[in-house]
């Protein structure tokens, strides 16, 4: 029998996500403006507003099982357009951090082809590694 | 100053002669001038050691025997990287055990080795461009600029600046800035981006030295003279001379004075 | 006028066409860009988490260097660098808790409070020089050149660091107008090129870039002008492969606005380093009589 003496402070909890992102999840009223402006929306299984709704409901496995946060290019259209001032870009970063902070990379630097490493500008590699590696 | 010798009959105590290599410095009964004894904590355990000794000598005094993490004892091989803290001070301090002197109550550990990813490459095929380094060490771009590496370098190299220079494609700057690197690995142990700094820097220095730095013209001239056989005659004459005669020649040799003029020449110019 | 100048890593190697054309054209306008000594990589993206300040160290350290250099303003040209530096600066200005933590961690011996101002080159052109003065300095007006001004994301969003309206910006249009070119509005001018996704999923960025280029073409543009080496790479590389597979695809020449600036100011084409652009960039300028025959240099590495 496992006795929970200490309260769980896992990252995939609404409180922790709100802490990491600095956003109030309950502000979202599902207007969909973020999804409409998202340039990556065409490739996403869950749209940004759906991710937010799932976050409100605490359904973390569905969020971390989706590619949405990894396709996000941090273009900030959602942030600029949200009528309630929710910074969805920050929320997406927090969702990525759930995985990254478990020391799991999304991009694996050692597996990138040598020709690609020689061809890509430094700005691409630095930003990719900051967003997509642990 | 009282001269305090350790027990005179070490041999009786240990059954070993003082020439026996398995005797520690302390056991050899080396006369210890009354140095003040201070406590140091080696890997968390307290030892009383004479102040004024280097960390390495103090550890040997305490009975440790170095079979790793010790090399030149001259501050250049990078084997004895040491990390320590002082009581009441949150900071991390570093040094080389063979150079740094013990301080009272220091808490230390050694870092004789830290795993660092080393790419394998064929140097002949490497071109003198930064992309060659990017291809072999993509983790270079995981640097966050936290500066932990610089803070922990016992040679006071601006490690972060070297990484920065490489990201900017400046191999020359990186080679010059990292010149004193002794590859102790302390930077690697603190790096959040998991970069193998000293391996990357060594590649940069190799590229600089072998493919970017201008060649020394006087070296080329000398090599030409040698391969043209200019020194053959003199060398062959020397090879014919026997041992005793050779010794006499060596002792009689002319040595260039330390503060010689630019145009100084020896009296015997036959072999110039 | 002297200004502290932060180039960024990419401008020192792959984007020398952006760097050289910037420094040369500003010099021609009487602005001496003094490169910041001992600068480090800005980090390219702004750290968006509230609880991890590691990502702020790199940009803030650069701002401290600007102060050490003795300047109160720093100009940058890469859109990514601009975004990171400006946001990190704003953090240090507005959040006393985080400012204290960052300052005490960095051991630079200074208490940086956001005293430096971060500006983009376009702001310097608009505010310090002015469009009228710029138009007067133009020696070779870019007549007949229909250029789509591509803003991208990081210059305009989020609002607190935007150098112009996030939805309907005009600053790059105004610049092109001052140079005598015809700016062509197109709906995708503020759309994302895919950014850093090019590393994880180049097909994705190719698709994002394609939408931007198609939108520009449909609006009648003959070329695209931009400010960011990452956008330039994404837009350029998405075209290269496609044009090799389909010869009927119309390639849109992608240029840095500073290259257009340099040429219009009558500077020698060498400062634009066109060998680092696609071939079409030179050709479109030649076809408009803006550029004479420029010797074609092969090889991308300088």
**Best of B120, B125, B135 to mutate (most A CBs within 10 Å, chain A):** B135
Residue C142, in any domain of the structure: yes
pLDDT score, position C299? 45
Where does a domain end: C95, C121, C147?
Answer: C121
pLDDT score, position B75? 92
Is the Cβ of B248 closer than 8 Å to some Cβ of chain A? Answer: no
Mean pLDDT of C112-132: 97
Q: Quick one: how far is CA B262 from the chain centroid?
A: 33
CB C87 within 8 A of CB C159: no
Q: What is the CATH number of the domain that holds C58?
A: 1.20.1050.140
Residue C298, in any domain of the structure: no
On chain C, the residues whose CB falls within 8 A of the CB of B146 are: 54, 57
Chains in touch with C (≥3 Cβ pairs < 8 A):
A, B
Residue C110: pLDDT over 90: no
Distance from CA of A14 to the nearest CA of B (A): 28
φ, ψ dihedrals at C252, nearest 5°: -95, 120
In chain B, which residues fall in CATH 3.10.20.30? 33-110
Q: Is C223 left (phi over 0), alpha (psi -120 to 50) or beta?
A: beta
Encode pLDDT of C164-211 as tens digits.
Answer: 999 999 999 999 999 999 999 999 999 999 999 999 999 999 999 999
Mean pLDDT of C139-154: 96
Distance from CA of B16 to the nearest CA of C (A): 53
Rounded distance between C-alpha atoms, residue B36 and residue B45, angstroms:
19
Other beta carbons within 10 Å of B266: 12
Rounded distance between C-alpha atoms, residue B74 and residue C93, angstroms:
48
C138 and C278 fall within a common domain: yes
Candidates A70, A87, A122; nearest CB to C10: A122
pLDDT score, position B7? 43
Task: State the maximum Cα–Cα separation within chain B, in Å, rounded to a whole number.
Answer: 70
Class of domain B123-212: mainly alpha
Mean pLDDT of A18-38: 95
Residue with tokens 């496609």: C242
The C-alpha angle with vertex A131 and arms to C4 and C192, in degrees rounded to 5, equals: 75
Rounded distance between C-alpha atoms, residue C147 and residue B35, angstroms:
81
Q: Which chain B residue has the Cα nearest residue C301?
A: B129
Cis before residue C272, ω within 30 degrees of 0?
no
Mean pLDDT of B159-179: 97
What are the b/e assignments for A92-115, b being 16+ CB within 10 Å? Answer: bbbbbbbbbeeeeebbebeebeee
Of C173, C169, C74, C158, the C-alpha closest to C115 is: C74
A109–B135 CB contact, under 8 Å: no
Distance from CA of A80 to the nearest CA of B (A): 28
Rounded to a whole number of angstroms, the distance between the first and last alpha carbons of chain C is 30
Candidates A112, A123, A130; nearest CB to C78: A123
In three-state secondary structure terms, B62 is coil
Mean pLDDT of B201-212: 97
B138–A112 CB contact, under 8 Å: yes
CB C299 within 8 A of CB C275: yes
Rounded distance between C-alpha atoms, residue C113 and residue A8, angstroms:
37
Q: What is the CATH number of the domain that holds C140?
A: 3.40.50.11810
In three-state secondary structure terms, A16 is helix
Q: In which element (H, E) is residue B189 found?
A: helix B186-190
Task: Flag whether the ipTM exceeds 0.85.
Answer: yes
CB C136 within 8 A of CB C128: no
A118–B141 CB contact, under 8 Å: no
pLDDT score, position B189? 95
Q: Which chain A residue has the Cα nearest residue B130?
A: A118
pLDDT score, position B10? 45
Of A87, B187, C16, A61, the C-alpha closest to C7 is: C16
Mean pLDDT of C56-78: 96
Q: How many residues does chain B have?
A: 272
Rounded distance between C-alpha atoms, residue A13 and residue A15, angstroms:
5
Candidates B135, B142, B168; nearest CB to A129: B142
C184 and C143 fall within a common domain: yes
Rounded distance between C-alpha atoms, residue B62 and residue B32, angstroms:
14
Other beta carbons within 10 Å of B226: 11
Distances (CA, A) of B170 to B204, C23, C24, C178: 9, 19, 21, 37
B135–A114 CB contact, under 8 Å: yes
Residue B9: pLDDT over 50: no
Rounded distance between C-alpha atoms, residue B91 and residue A87, angstroms:
37
- Put simply, whether the predicted model's pTM sits higher than 0.90 gets the answer no
B167–A133 CB contact, under 8 Å: no
C37 and C62 fall within a common domain: yes
Rounded distance between C-alpha atoms, residue A60 and residue A12, angstroms:
6
Rounded distance between C-alpha atoms, residue B36 and residue B50, angstroms:
6
Q: Identify the band that residue B13 occupies on the pLDDT scale cut at 50, 70 and 90.
A: low
Mean pLDDT of C220-235: 96
φ, ψ dihedrals at B83, nearest 5°: -115, 135
C174 and C267 fall within a common domain: yes
CB A110 within 8 A of CB C4: no
C110 and C227 fall within a common domain: no
Residues of C with CB under 8 A from a CB of A: 8-10, 13-15, 41, 43-45, 47-52, 55, 78, 80, 153-154, 157-159, 166-167, 191-192, 194-201, 204, 207-208, 211, 229-230, 233
pLDDT score, position A16? 82
C140 and C237 fall within a common domain: yes
CB C63 within 8 A of CB C85: yes
R_g over Cα of chain A: 16
C161 and C227 fall within a common domain: yes
Residue B167: pLDDT over 70: yes
Mean pLDDT of A86-110: 94
Residue A123: pLDDT over 50: yes
Candidates C38, C57, C301; nearest CB to B146: C57
C24 and C99 fall within a common domain: yes
The C-alpha angle with vertex C130 and arms to C124 and C132, in degrees rounded to 5, equals: 155
Q: Which chain B residue has the Cα nearest residue A121?
A: B131
Q: Identify the band that residue A6 occupies on the pLDDT scale cut at 50, 70 and 90.
A: low
On chain C, the residues whose CB falls within 8 A of the CB of A21 are: 48-50
On chain A, the residues whose CB falls within 8 A of the CB of B169 are: 122
Q: Which chain C residue has the Cα nearest residue B192?
A: C54
Mean pLDDT of A28-52: 96
Domain count, chain C: 2
C137 and C281 fall within a common domain: yes
Domains in chain A, ordered, with CATH? Answer: 14-102 (1.10.1060.10), 106-134 (no CATH)
On chain C, the residues whose CB falls within 8 A of the CB of B143 are: 41
- Show Cβ contacts of residue C45 under 8 Å, excluding neighbours closer than 6 positions: A74, A126, A127, A130, A131, C55, C80, C84, C196
In terms of DSSP bridges, do strands C254-256 and C223-226 run parallel, antiparallel, or are they unpaired? parallel
Q: Identify the band that residue B76 occupies on the pLDDT scale cut at 50, 70 and 90.
A: very high
Rounded distance between C-alpha atoms, residue C302 and residue C300, angstroms:
6
CA dihedral C72, C75, C76, C81 (to 10 degrees): 30
Residue A12: pLDDT over 80: no
Scanning B169-208 for CB atoms below 8 A from C yields: 169-170, 192
Residue C236: pLDDT over 70: yes
Rounded distance between C-alpha atoms, residue C184 and residue C144, angstroms:
12
Candidates B135, B144, B167; nearest CB to A118: B135
CB B205 within 8 A of CB B175: yes
On chain A, the residues whose CB falls within 8 A of the CB of C41 are: 122, 126
φ, ψ dihedrals at B154, nearest 5°: -70, -15
Chains in touch with B (≥3 Cβ pairs < 8 A):
A, C
Residue C300, in any domain of the structure: no
Of B123, B112, B45, the C-alpha closest to B78 is: B112
Class of domain B33-110: alpha beta
Residue B8: pLDDT over 80: no
Mean pLDDT of A81-104: 94
Rounded distance between C-alpha atoms, residue C59 and residue C8, angstroms:
11
Q: Which chain B residue has the Cα nearest residue C37?
A: B161
DSSP single-letter state for residue B242: -
On chain A, the residues whose CB falls within 8 A of the CB of B139 are: 109-110
The residue with greater pLDDT, C8 or B34, is C8
R_g over Cα of chain C: 19
- Show Cβ contacts of residue C73 under 8 Å, excluding neighbours closer than 6 positions: C3, C4, C66, C116, C117, C118, C119
Other beta carbons within 10 Å of B110: 22
pLDDT score, position C109? 82
Distance from CA of A77 to the nearest CA of B (A): 26
Q: What average pLDDT does the structure give for chain C? A: 93
Q: What percent of chain B is predicted at pLDDT more than 70? A: 88
Candidates B132, B139, B167; nearest CB to A122: B167
In three-state secondary structure terms, C138 is coil
Range of the domain at C30: 2-121
φ, ψ dihedrals at B96, nearest 5°: -110, 130
C107 and C146 fall within a common domain: no
Q: HEC states along A43-79?
A: HCCCCHHHHHHHHHHCCHHHHHCCCHHHHCCCCCHHH
Residues of C with CB under 8 A from a CB of B: 9, 12-13, 38-41, 43, 54-55, 57-58, 61, 106-107, 301
Beta strands in chain C (DSSP E): 2-6, 32-35, 73-76, 117-120, 146-149, 182-183, 223-226, 254-256
Q: What average pLDDT does the structure give for chain B? A: 89
Q: Which two tokens stand for residue A39?
A: 């340039």
Q: In which element (H, E) is residue A90 found?
A: helix A88-100
C107–B167 CB contact, under 8 Å: no
pLDDT score, position B206? 97
C112 and C138 fall within a common domain: no
R_g over Cα of chain B: 26
A19–C51 CB contact, under 8 Å: yes
Rounded distance between C-alpha atoms, residue B165 and residue B24, angstroms:
46
Q: Which two tokens stand for residue C27?
A: 């010099």
On chain B, the residues whose CB falls within 8 A of the CB of C57 are: 144-147
Encode pLDDT of A44-72 as tens digits.
Answer: 999 999 999 999 988 888 998 999 999 99
Rounded distance between C-alpha atoms, residue C93 and residue C108, angstroms:
17
Mean pLDDT of C71-92: 97
Q: Is C150 left (phi over 0), alpha (psi -120 to 50) or beta?
A: beta
Residue with tokens 């920065």: B164
In chain B, which residues fall in CATH 1.10.1060.10? 123-212
C153–A76 CB contact, under 8 Å: yes
Q: Is C70 left (phi over 0), alpha (psi -120 to 50) or beta?
A: left
Residues of A with CB under 8 A from a CB of B: 109-110, 112, 114, 117-118, 122, 125-126, 129-130, 133
């Amino acid at each position: 029998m496992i006795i929970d003496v200490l309260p769980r402070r896992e990252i995939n909890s609404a409180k922790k996500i709100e802490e990491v992102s600095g956003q109030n999840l309950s502000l979202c009223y599902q207007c969909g403006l973020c999804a409409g402006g998202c340039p990556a929306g065409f490739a996403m299984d869950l749209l940004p507003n759906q991710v937010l709704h799932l976050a409100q409901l605490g359904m973390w496995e569905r969020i971390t099982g989706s590619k949405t946060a990894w396709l996000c290019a941090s273009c900030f259209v959602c942030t600029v357009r949200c009528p309630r001032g929710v910074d969805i870009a920050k929320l997406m970063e927090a969702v990525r951090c759930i995985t990254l902070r478990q020391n799991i990379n999304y991009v694996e630097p050692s597996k990138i082809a040598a020709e690609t490493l020689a061809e890509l500008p430094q700005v691409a590699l630095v930003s990719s590694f900051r967003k997509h590696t642990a | 100053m009282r001269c305090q010798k350790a027990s005179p009959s070490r041999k009786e105590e240990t059954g070993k002669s003082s020439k026996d290599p398995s005797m520690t410095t302390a056991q050899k009964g080396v006369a210890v001038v009354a140095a003040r004894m201070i406590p140091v904590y080696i890997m968390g355990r307290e030892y009383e050691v004479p102040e004024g000794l280097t960390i390495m000598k103090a550890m040997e005094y305490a009975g440790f025997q170095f079979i790793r993490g010790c090399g030149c004892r001259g501050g250049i091989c990078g084997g004895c990287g040491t990390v320590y803290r002082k009581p009441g001070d949150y900071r991390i301090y570093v040094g080389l055990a063979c150079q740094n002197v013990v301080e009272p109550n220091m808490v230390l550990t050694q870092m004789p080795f830290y795993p660092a990813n080393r790419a394998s490459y064929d140097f002949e095929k490497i071109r003198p461009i930064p992309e060659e380094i990017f291809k072999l060490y993509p983790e270079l771009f995981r640097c966050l600029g936290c500066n932990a590496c610089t803070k922990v370098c016992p040679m006071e190299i601006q490690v972060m600046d070297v990484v920065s220079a490489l990201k900017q494609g400046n191999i020359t700057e990186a080679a010059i800035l990292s010149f004193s690197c002794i590859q102790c690995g302390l930077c690697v142990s603190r790096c959040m981006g998991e970069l193998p700094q000293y391996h990357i820097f060594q590649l940069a220095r190799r590229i600089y030295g072998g493919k970017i730095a201008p060649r020394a013209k006087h070296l080329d001239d000398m090599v030409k003279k040698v391969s043209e056989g200019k020194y053959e005659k003199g060398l062959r004459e020397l090879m014919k001379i026997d041992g005793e005669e050779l010794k006499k020649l060596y002792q009689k040799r002319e040595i260039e004075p330390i503060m010689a003029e630019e145009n100084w020449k020896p009296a015997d110019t036959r072999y110039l | 006028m002297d200004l502290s100048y932060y180039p960024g890593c990419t401008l020192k190697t792959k984007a020398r066409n952006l760097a050289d054309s910037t420094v040369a054209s500003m010099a021609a306008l009487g602005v001496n860009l003094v490169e910041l000594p001992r600068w480090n990589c800005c980090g390219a993206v702004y750290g968006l988490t509230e609880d991890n300040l590691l990502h702020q160290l790199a940009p803030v350290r650069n701002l401290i260097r600007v102060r050490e250099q003795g300047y109160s303003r720093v100009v940058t040209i890469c859109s990514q660098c601009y975004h990171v530096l400006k946001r990190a600066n704003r953090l240090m200005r507005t959040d006393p808790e985080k400012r204290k933590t960052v300052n005490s961690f960095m051991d630079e011996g200074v208490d940086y409070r956001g005293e430096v101002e971060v500006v983009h080159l376009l702001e310097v052109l608009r505010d310090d020089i002015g469009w009228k003065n710029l138009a007067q300095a133009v020696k070779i007006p870019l007549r007949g050149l229909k250029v789509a001004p591509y803003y991208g994301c990081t210059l305009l969003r989020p609002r607190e660091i935007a150098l112009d309206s996030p939805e309907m910006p005009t600053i790059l249009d105004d610049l092109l107008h001052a140079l005598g070119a015809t700016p062509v509005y197109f709906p995708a001018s503020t759309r994302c090129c895919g950014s850093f996704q090019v590393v994880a999923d180049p097909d994705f960025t190719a698709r994002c870039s394609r939408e931007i280029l198609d939108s520009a073409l449909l609006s009648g543009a003959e070329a695209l002008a931009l400010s960011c080496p990452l956008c330039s790479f994404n837009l350029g590389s998405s075209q290269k492969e496609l044009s090799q597979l389909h010869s009927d695809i119309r390639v849109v020449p992608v240029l840095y606005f500073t290259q257009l600036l340099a040429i219009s100011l009558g500077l020698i084409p060498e400062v634009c380093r066109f060998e680092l652009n696609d071939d079409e960039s030179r050709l479109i300028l030649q076809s408009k009589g803006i550029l004479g025959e420029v010797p074609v240099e092969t090889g991308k590495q300088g």
